[in-house]
Amino acid sequence: FRGDPSSALLEVLDPEQNNTFNDHYLEVDLDLSEVMFVATSNTLNIPGPLLDRMEVIRIPGYTEEEKLNIAERYLVPKQLKANGLKPEELKIADSAIRDIVRYYTRESGVRNLEREIAKICRKVVKEIALAGPRPAKKKVSAINVTSKNLEKYQGVRRFDYGRAEEQNEIGLVTGLAWTEVGGDLLQIEVSLVPGKGGMTLTGQLGDVMKESASAALSVVRSRAESLGIDTDFLQKQDVHLHVPDGATPKDGPSAGIAMATALVSTLTKNPVRANVAMTGEITLRGRVSAIGGLKEKLLAAIRGGITTVIIPEENRKDLADIPANVTQGMKIVPVRWIDEVLDLALERPLTPAASGSGEKLPVREGGKSPAQEGVKH
């Protein structure tokens, strides 16, 4: 390719220059000062100066229910017509469409969903053609595609989605992650091994996530006495923190409170509730800071069977942008401090080892803590 698209766009999108934009190929001047440009992208990985000249409008991906409705109203009728099928010849059940979304596509839109529906239609056309001609007066019997026979038309499942653990376990916490194709559940495991006080991090974690793990460990060490943990717990043992699905790179600070909870659970032998998921950055003082991608994370929690989600108090305002039907039946609890997280997530209340310097910061001056004001949607 000749030329530099980035430089050309930089000139076109700059209101100080685009009134005299010159097309070097046509060798003519174009006045673009009254033109509104709309650019679309799946990611923001574009040059900084170019991004600075744009107003970024984030459009969230479709929810599972939205994809289901789009498929029923538009995609299925469109593909039936495109493949020469009549509505009475093929019926695709809601359960089948939902399984296609979960197990055969991984996207924020519906492009691949339409491809998979088209694939089913083509196989049904072949099935009808191989069955031979039907008598003219014979009633057409519809081919029903359900979740039970979906693999016949789609093949083996390509993807899986995160699901809540069935039992409460020690040192295993369910976190919430944002991805470019939506949200997902993130399992965080902690175990203790003989050693000299080191910390091992595995699971292809990025620099920010490693720093978050270090901060979580420091919070636990500074509050050891108030949490009922031996202050010398690192003298003769190492901490190993692992985030499964090691082939997938992971980064970001939002797993901080999940890491701290997993550490406390392991050190106190106190199981973590399997139906609780959490997201939030942690500071050295034990404060829970805001995160991004809340809608996608809540959708992942609902899909995975989570009933209680712990979020930062600073993200309470973001709940107004999330439709009520998305979080129906789920308890969402905004918190400010790690102490509230531990009270909600652990099976048993924590008992201080002894009176000492272990610091437990106040949640709020007077009144109930945010944890006691659980928001239900």
Are the C-beta atoms of residues 296 and 176 closer than 8 Å to each other? Answer: no
Could you say which DSSP state residue 287 is in?
Answer: B
CA angle at 254 for the pair 253 and 258, rounded to the nearest 5°: 110
Token pair recorded at residue 218: 């420091």
Which backbone phi and psi does 365 adopt, to 5 degrees?
A: -75, 105
| Residues in contact with 346: Cβ distance below 8 Å, sequence separation at least 6, in sequence order | 261, 264, 265, 268, 270, 271, 272, 273
Could you say which DSSP state residue 372 is in?
Answer: G
Token pair recorded at residue 332: 């969402």
- Helix%, strand%, coil% for the chain, nearest 5: 35, 20, 45
Please state whether beta strands 182-194 and 143-145 pair in parallel, antiparallel, or not at all (unpaired). Answer: unpaired
Rounded distance between C-alpha atoms, residue 267 and residue 192, angstroms = 8
297 is catalytic: yes
Rounded distance between C-alpha atoms, residue 22 and residue 119, angstroms = 47
Catalytic residue, from 212, 226, 254, 265: name it. 254
Token pair recorded at residue 153: 């038309």
Task: Report CA-CA distances (Å) from 305 to 105, 290, 313.
Answer: 20, 24, 23
The type of residue at 289 is S
Catalytic residue, from 297, 355, 368, 376: name it. 297
41 is catalytic: no
Q: Which residues are catalytic?
A: 254, 297
